[in-house]
Structure 1
């Protein structure tokens, strides 16, 4: 029997949590769905990743209004993926902040990504008709910038390429709270279809060097101890390095993409198969690893048509 494409069969609603990690630093999480961060400063609010549609962002806004009536001044995009950025218009922020790499990717492939992700994740795009179009940043940085939200120091940094070429983290050095975007996952399978797999572990090493004691990953529970923070970073690194080594080895041995997929799946499933969206991600992940270990140092653009053709060829043989 053919498997349902990507996450089209994932229709069960998730339980949302809104957790305070430090005074004024919150995590909006939903059992492995994309996370949103919220920072309340003296004079306003910062939202980190926006949910996929303005309609879905309304639940984040409702949670914010439970703890403050201050205006949302800033939205930060940790990367360009539609599921993270297309809800931005709901917040009415003064500034939308992104890295130069993220802006480049929005310009190059934002529309194709929008169309492909809606097809993969129908449950995560509730109210897709409320999306006014692509989300465009109003403040763009190269390596980093620092904001003072009253007395709170907020550092916004690009530590290197990994999940995408534009990955951004938000770091509260005073509270040692880190919002990692999809550079780090916890109990959720990393999506690597647009990744730089050989560089991602090095970027994680720099992220580890910040010394976070609390962390909001891209997916999974908010982490409130140094031990769980390290477990999330190490788990993400382990998945990435094992997956890439397996696929690169298969390609070097002359095996086809399908053969590389079967070998890597057999290796990874016993260790990581219970992670959220494992079967969704593996076809995209292994295809990117096969590309990067061969003729495509930069990720190819995913379109809705390429998505379904690739996924079915690997999942169903």
Structure 2
């Protein structure tokens, strides 16, 4: 559903926020709309765009940004009007250009997602560090965290006047975060960086909105999770365990109730690869996540 964060700023929050079910957003001002992300499938993106059109009738979608390359935030790009200027971080643009999953999702998930009638659409403008755009009189700062975090090509959309932060997948609210295409320490640094902006409203990439006094505890719990991943990786490597073996041996503790718990395996693969100075094997990591669950990862997309 489309939730009003502050007047003119809206969040498209899709429960329950698990695999492929993302949040997006819209900023309406001056008779035009700026979008933050699309959705994974044709059906979900069309529902999002219809809700935006109802909220801002007759207002064209002049610009949009992708917070990173993952398909739950980008595959609906092709359903935007041709006149919409699409923006993304430079690493994100290249990753989406070469992403094979839009052409056919592998059977790591069940049911295997059906994207519908979407085609690959990459950003028209690439950003390295920062860019400020405007929806009417509303300033929107598109900011890169300075290094790998959730991915190598993350952007947030920060509205300094409204104190609203569209965090993309730098923030997961109430479910297991994912950093296997980024960096565990980088994701921790990104939390401090975002907190330093002083947001009063955070739209996470997945899960419920965070407001006011909810933000600091949510960031702290994410930080504890990343510390747990690093500690588990260090202990696993010292014991000669593989990432899958380390995941099976660990106690998720306070994080056990989070959805998508199998991401511990994927995040450990990233931590191991970084510690070894190696490239991560994405397919092997996904296979291990399926093995940890005992079957394909569930999705309701």
Q: Scaled by the length of structure 2, what TM-score is found?
A: 0.88
* CA positional deviation for 1:308: 5.5
| Residue number in structure 2 paired with 1:188 | 175
| Residue number in structure 2 paired with 1:245 | 231
Q: Secondary structure at the match of 2:5?
A: strand
Q: 2:207 aligns with which of 178, 195, 220?
A: 220
Tell me: CA distance 1:244–1:63, structure 2 relative to 1, closer, same or farther (3 Å).
same
Tell me: CA distance 1:219–1:124, structure 2 relative to 1, closer, same or farther (3 Å).
farther
Tell me: CA distance 1:105–1:248, structure 2 relative to 1, closer, same or farther (3 Å).
farther
Q: 1:165 aligns with which of 143, 152, 155?
A: 152
| Counterparts of 1:123 and 1:313, CA distance in 2 | 17
Q: CA RMSD in A?
A: 2.2
Decide whether the 8 Å contact of 2:265 with 2:289 is kept in 1.
Answer: yes
Decide whether the 8 Å contact of 2:4 with 2:11 is kept in 1.
Answer: yes
Alignment of 1:60-71 (within 5 A): 60-69=48-57, 70-71=59-60
| Residue number in structure 2 paired with 1:72 | 61
Alignment of 1:1-317 (within 5 A): 17-31=1-15, 32=17, 33-69=21-57, 70-92=59-81, 93-107=83-97, 109-111=98-100, 113-114=101-102, 119-121=107-109, 125-126=113-114, 128-132=115-119, 134-160=120-146, 161-225=148-212, 227-264=213-250, 266=251, 268=252, 270-279=253-262, 281-296=263-278, 298-300=279-281, 302-303=282-283, 306=284, 309-316=287-294
Unaligned runs of 5+ residues in structure 2 are 296-301
Unaligned runs of 5+ residues in structure 1 are 1-16
Decide whether the 8 Å contact of 2:244 with 2:265 is kept in 1.
Answer: no
| Counterparts of 1:35 and 1:124, CA distance in 2 | 20
Q: Secondary structure at the match of 2:157?
A: strand
| Counterparts of 2:28 and 2:56, CA distance in 1 | 8
Question: Which segment is superposed worse, 251-260 or 82-91?
Answer: 251-260
| Counterparts of 1:293 and 1:167, CA distance in 2 | 22
User: What's the CA shift string for 1:11-69, capped at 9, x where partnerless?
Assistant: xxxxxx32111111111112223111111121311111100123321110121122112
| Counterparts of 1:232 and 1:95, CA distance in 2 | 33
User: What's the CA shift string for 1:241-279, capped at 9, x where partnerless?
Assistant: 211221122113322333211233x1x2x2112222223
| Counterparts of 2:211 and 2:198, CA distance in 1 | 13
Q: Scaled by the length of structure 1, what TM-score is found?
A: 0.83
| Counterparts of 2:69 and 2:145, CA distance in 1 | 16
Decide whether the 8 Å contact of 2:265 with 2:285 is kept in 1.
Answer: no
Q: May I ask how many residue pairs the two structures share in their alignment?
A: 288
| Counterparts of 2:197 and 2:61, CA distance in 1 | 27
